[in-house]
Structure 1
Amino acid sequence: MTNHSEAAGAPGTEQITLRNPSELAEALPYLLGFKPEDSIVLVALHRGRFGGRVRLGIPERPGDWPSVADEMAKCLINGCEHKDGPPDGIVAFLCRDPKTAETGRQIMERLQPLAQMLRLACGRLDVPVVETLCISDDHFWSYSCPIEECCPPDGTPLAASGTSVMAAAMTYAGVQVRGPLREMRARLTPWQTAAAPEQEHALDAAAMTLVPRILAGVPRAEVADETLDLARRVWSRFGHLPTGDDTLETDLRDDEQLAHDEAARLILGLQDRLTRDHAAEWMEGDEAPLALRLWRALARRCVGPYGEHAAAPLTLAGWVAWSLGDRVEAGEALDMALAADPRYVFARLLMEACSADLDPEPVRRSLRK
């Protein structure tokens, strides 16, 4: 099977023509900006050019696959329609490395029903899937190509890192592939440390204080003002910390500046939509990087039974990251927000817009006063 797709590099660079499944597989990390792990990736094609893309973790339960396939297809196609119109086709990738004695080929065979579900979900929206690849154990398989000479049953080895046409062009253009997503997700994942029980107790105590106040008729605006004032005080502390690379070490320093009771009050306060929308206004200028660090810190504090509460800070983290131009972290944060609460509308809308490569400026304008 032959595929002709073009990927534009950085502004001013020449276009790259990808002619076969091998070059498509090798291009994936450069299309996303990172090497996906345990991921479903859908990439739109518009007149032979790559367009919007969506990524989601592969659900462990096969029973969840049909709904995930439908939601991903809708998210990508609806998002593309707002920018470039419906895509002409879609390239689908299933990425999962062996974790046990399972081989890459066995993973490919186990995921084949998911590949078919993705094709059907996109087809129901009148957009064909022109290629579906499984990438595992440094090999790839095509679910679309029946020719063994082209796509052998045992898979085709991926080119050595940095040696593909796409790698050479992107390196020349200054485009880099980020580290594993697990490092990024670790910065947004609730604590599983000795401090987690203490944070959970603080959340319980804050709920017992806040809920009776709301039931007693305390004005909603008053609770919102208290939450936002506390948020400003906390992230202003972050601004006084030593500057350096934005890494896990930064997260540890930020955690030391945020007391358990403060984190609990902020997490519960942000469950109110009005409060969250006001907090979303901190999305540019000097405020944005500090607010992003606070939203990450709060997501890490949504421990134990409060996991669903993480949807609010994760969505805010995704929004600020997108506003700052980091679509990779934005996508991960929004993905995790929807995993925490699949019905969280703000996260879903942002995911559609970010996945379609839309400009965040219209959203920023709506939030500015």
Structure 2
Amino acid sequence: MTSPLQPSTGVRAPDADPRTLIRLRGPAEVAAALPYMLGFHPAESLVGIGIGANKRVTLTARLDLGPPPYREQAAAMATYLRHASSVEAILVVVSDLPKSVVKRAGTAARVAARKAGMAVVDVMHVSDGRWWSLRCRNPRCCPPGGEVIDQSLVGQFAAELAALGRVVYPDRAAVTASIAYDQTAASEVRAALDAALAEQDRLAATAGSGAVVDAGERIVGAAVIGRRDRPRDLTVDEIGRLGAALQLIAVRDRALRWTVSPLAEVAENVWYQLTRRLPSPYAAPAATLLAVQSYNAGDCTLAGDCAARALTDDPRYTMAKLVAEAVMRAIPPGDFRAAMREAWLCDRRSRRSRRAA
């Protein structure tokens, strides 16, 4: 069985961006939309699409299909969807295995979903550009050879997500690879980071820790605001100063405000560059901020990978653990986003009170 926290898991929750609306009118749309709902093209997978009482998708989740029997994978999927308050489920087996094996997986998923209290809308099979309904036995609407996935629908979904800057990766491994450490100019980055850390120590010795935090907040703000109108790569010096600043928990916490701000997309690119370019163990704060930002956008797959990257750098990094837990429990990104916003507002009120005193 694949654990929901392992890198092979894929989850994409749709509630973060109200501009994104993929309409699923039937199995043809489901088959065409799968990669765009997950953020990557699945293979040998069990996919569950949860539907809430309002008829909107609550969660799209994927687990490795693995070898039979499929009861454990099916039970994990059902639990995942129920955690997201799903009352109905569409279940999809993406596999090139023989039909008898695919039907076995589909049956296990259907039974588990019903035991979890969900109505099963359909159980589908997707393979080699075609789709089948495993529940329909009418050859007039569900021919034995399956239906070809409608490429016009694929193009429509691709265009809608491209307009929002969403990336659909070729496979699950490509999602993880997108945040792997990039060693370009590694020695220069490390030198800039060491210099920035030394400067922080000197400032702390002369002006105190509060001055260091304030300076760090200004560095982060300048990096985000400075790219508002002109996106560009971070310089080596910026990577060093930002990496040093974010080692301070207070600076990282203040940086959370950018994840729920009008400049959230700009900030996301800053976190992404830092996650790629900072050496271990200094990437954990940036990877965690990128995890939060990804979760806010409904991309739980990337959020889980970023949390895992942060925990690889620092296994004790608490906020990364919180994001990983949110992914595992399928907490709706809207709820997670609201909690982040409230934390930011609390910090803002606290700082105002301290200044007034």
Query: Shorter-chain TM-score: which interval?
Result: 0.5 to 0.7
Specify which of 81, 84, 91 is matched with residue 79 of structure 1.
84
In structure 2, C-alpha distance between the alignment counterparts of 1:200 and 1:60, rounded to whole Å: 41
Q: CA deviation at 1:305?
A: 6.7
TM-score (norm 2): 0.60
Q: Match for residue 49 of structure 2?
A: 43
Residue pairs, 1:138-217, within 5 angstroms: 138-142=129-133, 144-145=134-135, 147=137, 149=139, 156-162=146-152, 176-178=160-162, 180-182=167-169, 185=175, 189-196=179-186, 199=189
**Counterpart for residue 233 of structure 1:** 222
RMSD between aligned alpha carbons? 5.2
Q: Look up the match of 2:59.
A: 53
CA contact (8 A) 2:227 2:266 kept: yes
Distance in 1 separating the partners of 2:254 and 2:47: 33
State how 1:1-369 maps to structure 2 within 5 Å.
17-18=25-26, 21-28=27-34, 32=37, 36-38=41-43, 41-46=47-52, 49-56=55-62, 58-59=63-64, 73-80=78-85, 87-95=86-94, 105-106=96-97, 118-119=109-110, 122-123=113-114, 125-142=116-133, 144-145=134-135, 147=137, 149=139, 156-162=146-152, 176-178=160-162, 180-182=167-169, 185=175, 189-196=179-186, 199=189, 224-239=213-228, 241=230, 250=231, 253-256=232-235, 259-266=238-245, 268-269=247-248, 272=249, 274-302=250-278, 311-318=287-294, 322=296, 326-327=297-298, 330-340=299-309, 344-346=321-323, 348-349=325-326, 352-354=330-332, 360=337, 363-368=340-345, 369=348
SS at match of 1:344: helix
Q: Does the C-alpha gap of structure 1 residues 159 and 124 become closer, same or farther in structure 2, counting only changes over 3 Å? A: closer
Q: CA deviation at 1:225?
A: 4.2
What is the deviation of 1:52? 0.7
Shift of residue 188, structure 1, vs aligned partner = 5.2
| Contact map agreement 1:311 1:336 (CA 8 A) in 2 | no
Does the C-alpha gap of structure 1 residues 202 and 139 become closer, same or farther in structure 2, counting only changes over 3 Å? farther
**Cα deviations across residues 97-140 of structure 1 (Å, max 9, x unaligned)?**
xxxxxxx6238888777656655664553335443334332122
Rate the CA distance shift 1:256–1:307 in 2: closer, same or farther, 3 A: closer
CA offset at residue 317 of structure 1? Answer: 2.4
CA shift in 2, pair 1:52/1:240, >3 Å: closer
Runs of 5+ consecutive residues of structure 1 not aligned to the other structure: 1-9, 81-86, 96-103, 242-249
Structure-2 change in CA distance of 1:230 and 1:177 (3 Å)? closer
Does the 8 Å CA contact 1:108/1:136 hold for their aligned counterparts?
Answer: no
The verdict on how the C-alpha distance between 1:17 and 1:190 changes in structure 2, with shifts beyond 3 A counting, is closer
Task: Using the aligned pairs only, state the percent identity.
Answer: 19
1:227-279 superposed Cα distances (whole Å, 9 cap, x missing partner):
433312332442463xxxxxxxx4xx32336544235324533xx3x543322
Equivalent residue number for residue 3 of structure 1: none
**Aligned positions, number:** 306
Structure 1 residues 202 and 151, CA, compared in 2 at 3 Å: closer, same or farther? farther
**1:55-88 C-alpha deviation (Å, 9 max, x unpaired):** 35x559769x9887666544432232xxxxxx33
Contact 2:132 2:146 in 1 (8 A): yes
- Find the counterpart in structure 2 of residue 244 from structure 1: none
Contact 2:51 2:88 in 1 (8 A): yes
Deviation at 1:190, TM superposition (A): 2.7
SS at match of 2:58: strand
Instruction: Output the TM-score relative to the length of structure 1.
Output: 0.58
In 1: Cα distance, 2:303 partner to 2:135 partner: 33
Tell me the distance in 2 between the aligned counterparts of 1:223 and 1:124.
Answer: 55
CA contact (8 A) 2:48 2:90 kept: yes
1:297 Cα deviation from its structure 2 partner = 1.7
Residue in structure 2 matched with residue 84 of structure 1 by the alignment: none
Deviates more, 1:177-186 or 1:189-198: 177-186
